[in-house]
Structure 1
Amino acid sequence: MSSDPWGRVDETGTVYVRTADGEQVVGSWQAGSPDEALAYFERKYEGLVVEIGLLEKRVKTTDLSAKDAQTAIDHIREQVDAHHAVGDLAALRGRLDKLVETVDARREERKVQRAKQSDEARHAKEALVVEAEELAQSDQWRAAGERLRALVDTWKGLPRLDRKSDDELWHRFSHARSAFSKRRKAHFASLDAQREEARKTKEKLVAEAESLSGSADWGPTAARYRELMADWKAAGRAQREHEDDLWNRFRGAQDVFFAARSSVFAERDAEQSENLKLKEELAEEAEKLVPVQDLKAARAAFRSINERWEAIGHVPRDARPKVEGRMHAVERALQESEETEWRRTNPEARARAEGLTGQLQAAVDKLQGQIESARSAGNTSRADKLQKELDGRQALLDQALKGLQEFGG
């Protein structure tokens, strides 16, 4: 017979373990000596010690769920209660009981933590809903649209609440997004309708302008062209893809008429020379409107100048491109100011504004490089010519940058 403090083997090969309730049969051993039997079941005990130690470590250092931890504890406890090992089984039960307490405490901690996280998620989602509902009334179509998309991404990253609360908040959130999309769609549909109406109006004006281009009734026809021009400006802008073509046809028809009238009155060179002086004075007056400070006042002033301009009549043919070019430059500056104002309501314009700014900046950089190359080569004349071109491009760039900044504001 062999024994140790926690177990023994009797003469029949039966192995016992000592417990507080007395000896319990561990098993029967016939394959070797009693010492080998005890050593075998002591290793069984050491295995349980190791298994409990590993479980204790997992509970303390990992995110093992309380349910899985309890299942593992019950599995080990079944082995301990089966008395198939020799050792201090009561100590193992004590460790398992303590581990149960730890798991229960952890379960409560996680319950509190989940409640806290749920409360935080609820407040976060409520804040998202409030912001979305405010954005739904915004007219800043691009910025508000981008912010709503960002709010959706934020929503997706938050934990779900109970189904009823989550569904109610999502319904409000989704409704706000839908309302914004509906308003934005209606806004741009209205803009499109306005541009289409402008296109139809200008088509009619072009048709009449072209029908008048062959008229020899100089006074009344010129007066009618002035009325057509006023109607043109009052019509508003058509779609970008139509506006330039319509304008070219409209202006071209007037050019045909006034060119014919000019040829008839070619003998009035003195009068035309005086006309040139007057138009140069008007061009100078118009150029003082740039840069545009007050668009409405500038438009009114330019309209007054333009009316006086049209009333003057034609100038010598060779002087016409230059003096009209000066007026066209002022008109383009006014149109650009109008477009800058219009872009504030058009969320699609920013990309184009940024593209234009990039192109102008590239052109300025290129011209600066060419000027430096010309000066290095001693070609002062070319450098001065390029400098004038650079000044013009820089002015356009400065205006484009200012417009982009105003758009961003």
Structure 2
Amino acid sequence: MTSDPWGRVDDEGTVYVRTAEGERVVGSWQAGSPDEALAYFTRKYEGMSVEIGLLERRVRSTDLAAKDAMTAIDHLRAQVAEGHAVGDLAALAARLEALVGEVDSRREERKAARAKAQDEAKAAKEVLVAEAEQLAESNQWREAGDRLRALVDTWKGLPRLDRKSDDELWHRFSHARSTFSKHRKAHFATLDLQRDEARQVKERLAKEAESLSNSTDWGATAARYRELMADWKAAGRAQREAEDELWARFRGAQDVFFQARSAVFDERDAEERENQKLKEALLVEAEALLPISDLKAVKASYRGVSERWEEIGHVPRDARPKLEARLHTVDRAIREAEEAEWQRSNPEARARAQGMTGLLQAAVDKLEQQIEAARAKNDSGRVAKLEKELEGRRELLDQALKGLQEFGG
């Protein structure tokens, strides 16, 4: 009989394994020596040990499902229990029981992880729903629409919840998207209507602009074009294609009118610049009449200048004030000379001038007497006051005397 610590072979070739409960037959061996029989059944033991080791590594290092792990463990348990091998079968059974504990622990860990993932997914979806409901009231159509599409992609990447919770949140999320879509469609429907109304208005404006393009009523037509432009801006935008076409018509009609007006104005400006030169020459002739020595001759010459001035016509607007001011200076000098001549021949005015001169002279004489009296009393304050008054009266007297001299007296 041949034996080792874990088994033996009896004389008839029966192979036994030793366990805590006693010996148990695992097989028979007739093909060779007892040592070969023990070696064979020991290798079967080692094979089971290797299989258990592989299962241990899968459980500890992969995401092997608990159900699949327990199926493999039960299979190996059956092999160990049947015991067709020689070795420490109790140790193999103990390893399998320890592995069951690890699988149970992993199952609980995964269950907790799944619960945590579900809670996180639910919280994430609630955040998505809240944002979607806020975006549902937005009128930032492009930005909000892009963001809602991004939220859908994010939703798809999140784990599913329990059916009830997932359906409730999805219903809110979908309703928010539908609300936004309805608002956007209504907005663009209104916008289309407004754009169609703008198109109709601008068609009318373009037609009127075209009807005015050949007008030669420069001022009134230019003013009407400004009004049409204000109406164009107030009408809003039409559809892009219609907007571009109508604007080309509207702008083209204006260009025709303003180019024609510009050509006429350029011709008129050239004529007015030539008129300016002619009037400047007349001004030199008119200004040469001053100072006036022979009023009658000057008036005759000035009439000729005035008649030619009127015949010449318009000058550039910016030059007109300066030219007219120079002519007015000559005209005013002639009128003043006429007034002075009339005053000299007016006996009533001469009498009034003489009377005024007499009154002023009497006032001056009286003030001089009052000053002498105040000086005699050493009243310096009154002297100063009277001298100041005397100075004013003397100035008036000088002016009156000059006026009297103009009358020749």
* CA spacing shift, 1:205–1:75, aligned 2, 3 Å: same
SS at match of 2:230: helix
Q: Distance in 2 between matches of 1:145 and 1:5?
A: 78
**Alignment partner, residue 24 of structure 1:** 24
Measured after TM superposition, the shift of residue 145 of structure 1 is: 2.2
**Alignment partner, residue 81 of structure 2:** 81
* CA spacing shift, 1:69–1:212, aligned 2, 3 Å: same
What is the letter of the counterpart of residue 140 of structure 2?
Q
**Alignment partner, residue 60 of structure 2:** 60
Identity %: 78
* CA spacing shift, 1:272–1:241, aligned 2, 3 Å: farther
Q: 1:77-109: per-residue Cα shift (whole Å, max 9, x none)?
A: 111111200112122112211111111111111
Determine whether 1:12 maps to 2:12.
Answer: yes
What is the letter of the counterpart of residue 114 of structure 1?
R
* CA spacing shift, 1:4–1:205, aligned 2, 3 Å: same
Note the 1:376-391 alignment, pairs <5 A.
none
Q: Distance in 2 between matches of 1:164 and 1:22?
A: 58
**Alignment partner, residue 33 of structure 2:** 33
Q: Distance in 1 between matches of 2:111 and 2:262?
A: 93
User: Structure 2: any 5+ residue segments left out of the alignment?
Assistant: 274-315, 318-409
* CA spacing shift, 1:32–1:250, aligned 2, 3 Å: same
Q: Distance in 2 between matches of 1:98 and 1:264?
A: 109
User: How many residues align structurally?
Assistant: 275
* CA spacing shift, 1:74–1:221, aligned 2, 3 Å: same
* CA spacing shift, 1:220–1:106, aligned 2, 3 Å: closer
Note the 1:300-315 alignment, pairs <5 A.
none
* CA spacing shift, 1:255–1:61, aligned 2, 3 Å: closer
Q: Distance in 1 between matches of 2:77 and 2:204?
A: 95
What is the letter of the counterpart of residue 49 of structure 2?
V
Measured after TM superposition, the shift of residue 268 of structure 1 is: 4.4
Measured after TM superposition, the shift of residue 220 of structure 1 is: 5.6
**Alignment partner, residue 166 of structure 2:** 166
Q: Distance in 2 between matches of 1:265 and 1:109?
A: 94
SS at match of 2:131: helix
Q: 1:342-366: per-residue Cα shift (whole Å, max 9, x none)?
A: xxxxxxxxxxxxxxxxxxxxxxxxx
Q: Distance in 2 between matches of 1:91 and 1:262?
A: 112
Note the 1:319-330 alignment, pairs <5 A.
none
**Alignment partner, residue 231 of structure 2:** 231
Note the 1:145-156 alignment, pairs <5 A.
145-156=145-156
What is the letter of the counterpart of residue 37 of structure 1?
A
Note the 1:147-296 alignment, pairs <5 A.
147-215=147-215, 221=221, 224-257=224-257, 268-269=268-269
* CA spacing shift, 1:195–1:219, aligned 2, 3 Å: same
SS at match of 1:12: coil
Q: 1:204-256: per-residue Cα shift (whole Å, max 9, x none)?
A: 12222223334556666555444433322321222333334323322333444
Q: Distance in 1 between matches of 2:76 and 2:178?
A: 57
Q: TM-score with structure 1 length normalisation?
A: 0.61
Which one is further off, 91-100 or 173-182? Answer: 173-182
User: Structure 1: any 5+ residue segments left out of the alignment?
Assistant: 274-314, 317-409
Measured after TM superposition, the shift of residue 39 of structure 1 is: 0.8
Which one is further off, 191-200 or 23-32? Answer: 191-200
What is the letter of the counterpart of residue 170 of structure 2?
W
Q: TM-score with structure 2 length normalisation?
A: 0.61
SS at match of 2:8: strand
Determine whether 1:106 maps to 2:106.
Answer: yes
Q: Point out the structure with max Rg over C-alpha.
A: 2
**Alignment partner, residue 124 of structure 1:** 124
Measured after TM superposition, the shift of residue 148 of structure 1 is: 1.8
**Alignment partner, residue 346 of structure 2:** none
Measured after TM superposition, the shift of residue 181 of structure 1 is: 2.5
Q: Distance in 2 between matches of 1:49 and 1:223?
A: 106
Give the alignment's Cα RMSD to 1 decimal. 2.7
* CA spacing shift, 1:218–1:157, aligned 2, 3 Å: closer
Q: Distance in 2 between matches of 1:82 and 1:210?
A: 107
Q: Distance in 2 between matches of 1:266 and 1:208?
A: 26
SS at match of 1:17: strand
Q: 1:365-409: per-residue Cα shift (whole Å, max 9, x none)?
A: xxxxxxxxxxxxxxxxxxxxxxxxxxxxxxxxxxxxxxxxxxxxx
* CA spacing shift, 1:142–1:38, aligned 2, 3 Å: same
* CA spacing shift, 1:197–1:26, aligned 2, 3 Å: same
